[in-house]
Homo-oligomer: A and B are copies of this chain.
C-alpha cells in the first residue's frame, strides 16, 4: 500500500478526524470532540497552537493521522497526543509507518525524547503492544489515573538512541 502523507491541515480534516476516531470504537463522544478541537485550534492558530498533524491519505481523504507537538515547558520533548487508523484499514502496518514518519518529523525539529500516553485497560493492550514494538519503553505507570481501576501508562522513546534490538523499522 502506498503511503500518501500530508501535514497541512485543511478545514475538512475536522470531519475526517471524527470519522476516523468514531470508526475505531475506542473513543467516547467527548474524546472525539477533543480530537476535533485540536485540529480546529491548528486551523485557527497554525503551529502556535502547539498541535501538529500528519495525515495518511486514501483516495485523497485522511484514513489515519497523528496529532503531536512540543511539550510546553520542555526543551526538545514531544508528545504524540493522538494516533488513530480507520477501522477498516487496521492490521496493514499503516499505523506503524505513520508513527515512524511522525518520529522522523519530530527528530528533524531537533527533539530527542518523544512521549505517548495510553490507558492500562485491557481494551488498550493492542495499543500498548503497538508502542512497544515501535521501540517505546514504559517510563511510568500512574495507578487509577483516569478513573478508579484505570491506570495511565506513559511511554517514552529516545530518538537519539541508535536503532537496535528495541526498534524495528
A interface residues (Cβ-Cβ under 8 A, vs B): 31, 34, 72-77, 112-113, 139-148, 154, 156
Chain B nearest CB from A121 CB (Å) reads: 13
Chain B nearest CB from A109 CB (Å) reads: 15
In the bound complex, CA of A140 to CA of B117 (Å): 14
Contact A142 B142 (CB under 8 A): no
Would A113 and B145 be within 8 Å (CB), given that A139-B140, A140-B154, A154-B140 are in contact?
A: yes
25 A-B contacts (beta carbon < 8 Å): A31-B73, A34-B72, A34-B73, A73-B146, A74-B145, A74-B146, A74-B147, A75-B146, A75-B147, A75-B148, A76-B147, A76-B148, A77-B145, A77-B147, A112-B148, A113-B144, A113-B145, A139-B140, A139-B142, A139-B143, A140-B140, A140-B142, A140-B154, A142-B154, A142-B156
Cβ–Cβ < 8 Å partners of A156 in chain B:
142
Chain B nearest CB from A123 CB (Å) reads: 15
Cβ–Cβ < 8 Å partners of A141 in chain B:
140
Contact A146 B31 (CB under 8 A): no
In the bound complex, CA of A93 to CA of B112 (Å): 40
In the bound complex, CA of A76 to CA of B143 (Å): 13
Q: Closest B-chain residue to A147, C-beta based?
A: B75
Q: Closest B-chain residue to A77, C-beta based?
A: B145
